[in-house]
Amino acid sequence: MTETNLVETNSETTFMGSAAQDKAEVDTTSSQLSNDKLIEMLKSMMQIRRFEERTMQSYMQQKIGGFCHIYIGQEAVAVGSIGATKPDDPIVGAYRDHGLALARGMDPKYAMAEMFGKITGCAKGKGGSMHFFDKEHHMYGGHAIVGGQCPLGAGLAFAIQYEKKDNVVLCYFGDGAVNQGAFHEAFNLASIWNLPVIFVLENNSYSMGTHINRGTAMANDLRAKAEAYGMRYAECDGLDVLDVYTTFKREIDRTRNAANPQWERGIIPDYKREGAPVGPCFMNVKTYRYKGHSMSDPQKYRAKEEVEAKQELDPINRLVNHLIDNNIATQDQIDEFDKAAKAEAQAAVKFANESPEMPIEELFTDIYVNPYGPYKKGGLPQMLQGKDLE
């Protein structure tokens, strides 16, 4: 954590309607969205932004340990894409998972408590920042091995097809994952079996400090990766939540409708037919992260000006502008939403702080669903627990 970041964390940035004026406009073709939906998405993005600021602060105060990857800058990706799902459409992602979980409806209290390692966390304090799980909200985890969740996304989609449900899986990963074998194997399986999964590339241009152009072949034409597997490809502006929403809505609908008639695997979809509504889709979402890769990243690999230029396109400010310009919300209302988001983040920290410490017996739970044999009393052989057999 550098000094500059520390200052940023504590500074009180506000979302002003004028802040980004004359910079970039949100995609107005999407304005058929209801005003309620737009405001819901704004609140959700603000919730993530304020939550992440508190997360950084708590990390500096050493309340949070381990690796911690901040989502600031990418809020529109989670909010726009998840906003286009049904609540029981499974989502699965990488370690940069706070935003996904919150956008999906996880209570920020349980998210913060997880990072504080408390029993009240969304995974009982056993997962941490990189491993958020929430069964109730169909969040199948943050997964910290780069690319490792791609086959899981295909597996969830396989199960949906197997059970003849009409859900669609959103499987998220960063641009670093594109070069992993698991990514390619999952693409191939999803394609040959026409699985209802959207592979979502949160393309923030960097895998840690390596720019995508240095690490990925054909970085400027990722469509080729989809084409290689006969898969549908789409892209959208990840700094524009309305563009993300409409693009995902379109592609999710196509996937949902495509999978159904072809329950029986082995029917290879007709890729050549123009606009064929086949199941899986590779979605390239161009986004940007303002913060370092993780809390320990001093960001020597990119210029301050680059980050600042991207901040001009801030997805929250752009939506704020849109709402004000179109008389959907007033600056006062925006301020109120922001105040609520700040209060909620603060309450989450308080909850996490005040939650009881982990009972040490928890060390030995959740290893097996059905432990039996001599392992019954915990994960270790009784010998190692100091208990005698007789």
Partner 1 sequence: MRNIQYREALREAMQEEMRTDDRIFLMGEEVAEYNGAYKVSQGMVEEFGARRIVDSPISETGFAGLGVGAAMYGLRPIIEFMSWSFCLVAADQIINNAPKMLYMSGGQFGCPAVFRGNNGAGGQLGSTHSWCVESMFSSVPGLKLAVPSTPRDAKGMLKAAIRDEDPVFYLESERMLGLGARGDKDFSRYLANGKWAPPSYEEDDNFVIEFGKADIKKPGADCTIVTAGRPVHFALDAAEELEKEGIDVEVIDVRTYRPLDIETIVNSVRKTNYCVVVDQSWPFASVASEIASQVYERCFDDLDNSIIRVNNDDVPAPYNRTMEQEMLPNARKIAEAVRSVTYNS
Ligand X SMILES: Cc1ncc(C[n+]2csc(CCOP(=O)(O)OP(=O)(O)O)c2C)c(N)n1
Binding mask 175-214 for ligand X (x = CB under 6 A): xxx------------------------x-x-xxx------
> In sequence order, what are the beta bridge partners of 92?
171
* φ, ψ for residue 172, nearest 5 deg: -100, 145
Among 73, 151, 279, 315, binds partner 1 (CB under 8 A): 151
Amino acid, res. 42: L
Binding mask 143-182 for ligand X (x = CB under 6 A): -xxx---------------------------xxxx-----
Full DSSP string of 66-128: S-----TT-HHHHHHHHTTS-TTS-EEEES--HHHHHHTT--HHHHHHHHTT-TTSTTTTSS-
Given the rule CB under 6 A, which of 142-150, 226-234, 265-273, 378-386 is the region that contacts ligand X? 142-150
Distance in Å, CB of 153 to partner 1, minimum: 6
Does residue 168 belong to the site contacting partner 1 (CB under 8 A)?
no
Q: What is the 3-state secondary structure (H, E, C) of 120-160?
A: CCCCCCCCCCCCCCECCCCEEEEECCCCCHHHHHHHHHHHH
Does residue 117 belong to the site contacting partner 1 (CB under 8 A)?
no
Given the rule CB under 8 A, which of 31-39, 149-157, 231-239, 248-256 is the region that contacts partner 1? 149-157
Q: Which does 293 bind (CB under 5 to 8 A by kind): ligand X, partner 1, none?
A: ligand X
Contact present, 74 and 238 (Cβ < 8 Å): yes
Among 365, 377, 385, 387, binds partner 1 (CB under 8 A): 365
Q: Which two tokens stand for residue 189?
A: 């399986």
Amino acid, res. 194: N
**Which residues of this protein are in contact with partner 1, per CB under 8 A?**
90, 92, 121-127, 131, 133-135, 140-141, 143, 145, 148, 150-160, 162-163, 181-182, 185-186, 188-189, 192, 263-266, 365-375, 379, 381-383, 389
